[in-house]
Amino acid sequence: MLNKLENKDLKNIFLFSELSEEELNEIRSFSHLKKFDKGEILSFDSEPYSGFYCTLDGAVKLYKISSEGKEHILHIIYPYNTFAEVPIFENYGEVVKNNATYPLNAMAIEDNTVVIIIPARPLLNFLENNPKLYLKMLSTLSKRLRFLNNHIENLTLLDVKKRLSKYLLEKLKEAELNKENIEKKKGIKLKKINSIELSISKNDLSSHLGTILETLSRTFKKLQDEKIIEVDSKKITILDFQKLKEISK
């Protein structure tokens, strides 16, 4: 159980992955951990400085909510991924004024979700002395921009069936990459992956896909009736990869 921040935790974060032990110590000196239970909101305001976050354990959803209570999840953040960088940089210089606003809301979606909080001011100082990190940061933000562009494409140009198909294919690809990593690391050969385990509730999934639970349920059923997938609670088996790919286009 994660209770104290160690250098090895920081090393897993892309931005810090190439830092020396001393440098990691420095990062640690101005960062701190915080733990949340499922459903708890990560209230950005309560922190001394606005800064950015990284999930170390559990999962966090980043979402927008309308005046009528409708929710849309833009990102699900898993361990070692950072979020809430925007307010640090968008008006740099003004950031310490404590009135920064975060574009998104954040909520833990698993018990014992641990995040590390890295305050803006010391981080900006650190970056200035280690300009090589700027490119890493630019890379992270650029990847997120591409993700959001694709997300908008999905939401505006595809119907729910296509969006769900695309999501399933992405998760399958992730699982495959993960498998290959394990194979390489352990020097073993694992059997081909043809199923995925949904890591979030179907309600959260529907919110991420820009629809509602009932419509998602019906769309799963349609794909199952067409013998393209098999749904067993959270386990989705892909029966016809080609057809799924065809639909997602």
Instruction: Please report, as ranges, the residues that interact with a second copy according to CB under 8 A.
Output: 64-67, 70-72, 74, 85-92, 103-104, 128, 131, 134-135, 137-139, 141-146, 148-153, 155-158, 210, 249
Lay out the site mask for DNA across 53-72 (x = CB under 7 A, - = otherwise): -----------------x--
Contacted by 216, from a second copy, DNA, none: CB < 5 to 8 Å by type: DNA
Contacted by 153, from DNA, a second copy, none: CB < 5 to 8 Å by type: a second copy
Q: Which is nearer to a second copy, 90 or 197 (CB)?
A: 90
Interacting span for DNA (CB under 7 A) from 71-79, 86-94, 137-145, 201-209 = 201-209
Please state the closest distance from residue 231 (CB atom) to DNA, in A: 6
- CA 24/CA 7 separation, integer angstroms: 6
By the rule CB under 7 A, 214 interacts with DNA:
yes
Please state the closest distance from residue 2 (CB atom) to DNA, in A: 20
Please state the closest distance from residue 146 (CB atom) to a second copy, in A: 5
Residue from 215, 230, 241, 243 that binds DNA (CB under 7 A)? 215
Residue from 202, 226, 239, 241 that binds DNA (CB under 7 A)? 202
Give the footprint of DNA on residues 122-181 (CB under 7 A).
Answer: 159-161
SS (H, E, C) the chain: CCCCCCHHHHHCCHHHCCCCHHHHHHHHHHCEEEEECCCCECCHHHCCCCEEEEEEECCEEEEEECCCCCEEEEEEECCCCEECCHHHHCCCCCHHHCCCCCCCEEEECCCCEEEEEEEHHHHHHHHHHCCHHHHHHHHHHHHHHHHHHHHHHHHHHCCHHHHHHHHHHHHHHHHHHHHHHHHHHHCCCCCCCCEEECCCCHHHHHHHCCCCHHHHHHHHHHHHHCCCEEEECCEEEECCHHHHHHHHC
Pairing mode, if any, of strands 71-77 and 229-232?
unpaired
Please state the closest distance from residue 156 (CB atom) to DNA, in A: 8
Contacted by 60, from DNA, a second copy, none: CB < 5 to 8 Å by type: none
Please state the closest distance from residue 208 (CB atom) to DNA, in A: 12
Total of chain residues touching DNA, rule CB under 7 A = 22
Contact 124, 88 (CB under 8 A): yes
The first and second tokens of residue 8, run together, are: 């090895």
Please state the closest distance from residue 69 (CB atom) to DNA, in A: 10
Inter-axis angle of helices 132-157 and 120-129, nearest 10: 120
- Contact positions vs DNA (CB under 7 A): 70, 159-161, 201-203, 210-218, 220-221, 231-234
